[in-house]
Structures are given as structure tokens and as C-alpha cells.
Homo-oligomer: A and B are copies of this chain.
Amino acid sequence: MERKEITFTDNVDQTLKMMKDHGLLLTSVGADGRPNVMTIGWGNPGVIWSRPVFVVLVRPSRFTFQNIEATGEFVVSVPTDGMHDVCMYCGTESGRDTDKFAGGDLTVVEAETVRAPLIGQCVRHYECKVVHRNDVADAALSPEIRAEAYPQGDLHRIYYGQILRVTERA
């Protein structure tokens, strides 16, 4: 599948719409090079520190958390409408027990700037290197959201990934 490089603002409205409708796929690798993929429904592409940055949130209990802490890299991949079931699957299974690339029939494709892989079936990829991280601040969060999102604590870590490269299916 041919891919062309695009600017991070190109079709970002479609990326956000797809995230709302099906989710996006977040890939990472551990120190051992083993890749994982999870589904995310939250994320904020934009600009911080004069750099294109994709902000994503990951709970410490997730297998992806260990990966990003170990390697400081991730890729956000935009699925097609037909990948709804795969997004459901990657959002419910854990990479601790399962090879979700095999289970979801997802093709691992090498990225150019990071070790975390692209997914052959996806239409657009944001290759990201973590340049900052902080945590959701319990006391500074709206009580309504606190009750809704964190009944058991497990507050998210917020990763600020500098977008090094964006590609799209040609």
C-alpha cells in the first residue's frame, strides 16, 4: 500500500470524526520490541511549544503504559469504517495476554521515525515521540468527571507526543 506524507493539519477533522465514531488505534512497543495496540476514544492533535503535538491519555494499569514509559514513542492510526469490530476488539483485550495484531488480522508495518509500528489496514498515521508527560490532577478535575471517569482512581497519564511524521494512503 502506497503512502504519502501529509501535513498534520490535513484531514484532521476526519481523524477526530473517526475517533468519535469508532476510535483510533494506538500502537506502542516495549523495550523487547514486541508491539501492542489499543483503541483510544480520546486524543487532541494540535500545536504546543511550536511543534505539532498529539496529546493522548493512558491509564497506568494498561499494558500500553509500560510500553510508552519504556520507549517514549507511539503511533496514532486512523482506521476505516469497516474496522469497527477490530476497534472494539483492541479496546477490550489486553496485550498482556494476547497478540492483538494476530487476533485482529492487523498487518504490522514499519514506521519511519519511531519503533512503534503502523497498521497496514489504516488510512492515516501519526508517528509520535513523547516530549512531555504529566498526570490528571485529581484535585483540579471537575467533580462530575472525577465521579464518571475515575470511580476507582487509576488517573490517566497524559502523553504529549511530538508528531514527527504523518502519512496517508495514496
Contact = CB atoms under 8 A, between A and B. Distances in A.
Interface of A: 8-13, 16-17, 19-20, 41-51, 53, 55, 57, 131-137, 140-142, 145, 148-149, 158, 162
A134 B145 CA distance: 15
B131 A134 contact: no
Contact of A42 (B17, B47, B57): B47
Contacts of A55: 44, 46, 55
A44 B44 CA distance: 5
A25 to B, nearest CB: 15
Nearest to A134: B137
B47 A41 contact: yes
Given A9-B17, A13-B9, A55-B44, A134 B136 contact: yes
The listed residue with most B CB atoms (<10 A of its CB), out of A10, A45, A51, A142, is A142
